[in-house]
């Protein structure tokens, strides 16, 4: 378990918040209509958190194993430029993201929830999982969110990042005028 100062030290250098989608940004369920269309539900709390992170200068990216037009549209609505779908070997795609965008492990926070996320959770500077993750996966992360998957877990981590990086007050100014 990290001490408070170790925890804050891991959050300070973060420049990229990288997110798994299903089971982190959504409740992990996907729905198919009789016509074969897929739909997912995203928490507006998370979307606003992503906007807050971007306003504070953080980049946000999505790294998911599934392919979904819904994810493409969601990312487009939030101006998320880093979107990798069909990632069956997340560490390989994570490495490509690092190289393409000039990041190092210590500058990346990643939120995941399952075994496919472990290689990235093990490498990144700050790892978080949702409480829906298996306990043995939770034990490998720096932080387990209080909020569940698809119910504000991303926003919770964004708030931690902004506060640890002393960006919270500046971001809040637009709301507290």
Q: Is residue 74 part of a domain?
A: yes
What residue numbers bound the domain in which 163 lies? 4-172
Query: How many CB atoms within 10 Å of residue 34?
Result: 5
- The tokens describing 155, both together, are 């926003």
96-105 per-position pLDDT tens digit: 999 999 999 9
Q: Cβ(67)–Cβ(173) under 8 Å?
A: no
pLDDT of residue 30: 82
Q: What average pLDDT score do residues 72-93 get?
A: 97
- The tokens describing 144, both together, are 């387990």
Q: Is residue 11 part of a domain?
A: yes
| Residue 47, pLDDT above cutoff 90 | yes
Q: CA quadruple 43, 9, 123, 137: dihedral positive or negative?
A: negative
Q: In the chain, how many domains are there?
A: 1
CATH number, domain of 46, equals 3.40.50.1000
Give the whole-angstrom CA distance, residue 134 versus residue 115. Answer: 9
Q: Is residue 177 part of a domain?
A: no
> In this predicted model, which residue has the larger pLDDT, 1 or 118?
118
The alpha carbon of 95 is separated from its chain's Cα centroid by a whole number of angstroms, namely 16
135-167 per-position pLDDT tens digit: 999 999 999 999 999 999 999 999 999 999 999
Q: How confident is the model at residue 39 (pLDDT cuts 50, 70, 90)?
A: confident
Q: Is residue 24 part of a domain?
A: yes
Q: How confident is the model at residue 31 (pLDDT cuts 50, 70, 90)?
A: confident
pLDDT of residue 36: 85
Give the whole-angstrom CA distance, residue 176 versus residue 122. Answer: 38
pLDDT of residue 177: 78
Q: Is residue 162 part of a domain?
A: yes
């Amino acid at each position: 378990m990290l001490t408070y100062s170790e925890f804050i030290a891991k959050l300070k250098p973060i420049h990229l918040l990288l997110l798994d989608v299903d089971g982190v940004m959504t409740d992990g369920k996907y729905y198919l209509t009789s016509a074969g269309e897929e739909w997912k539900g995203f928490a507006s709390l998370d979307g606003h958190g992503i906007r807050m992170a971007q306003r504070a200068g953080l980049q946000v990216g999505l790294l998911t194993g599934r392919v979904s037009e819904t994810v493409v549209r969601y990312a487009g609505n939030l101006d998320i430029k880093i979107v990798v779908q069909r990632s069956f070997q997340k560490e390989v795609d994570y490495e490509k993201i690092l190289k393409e965008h000039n990041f190092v492990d210590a500058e990346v926070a990643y939120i995941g929830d399952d075994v496919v996320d472990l290689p990235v959770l093990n490498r990144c500077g700050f790892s978080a999982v949702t409480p829906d993750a298996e306990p043995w996966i939770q034990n490998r992360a720096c932080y387990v969110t209080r909020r569940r998957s698809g119910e504000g877990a991303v926003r919770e981590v964004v708030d931690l990042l902004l506060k640890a990086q002393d960006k919270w007050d500046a971001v809040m100014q637009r709301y507290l005028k």
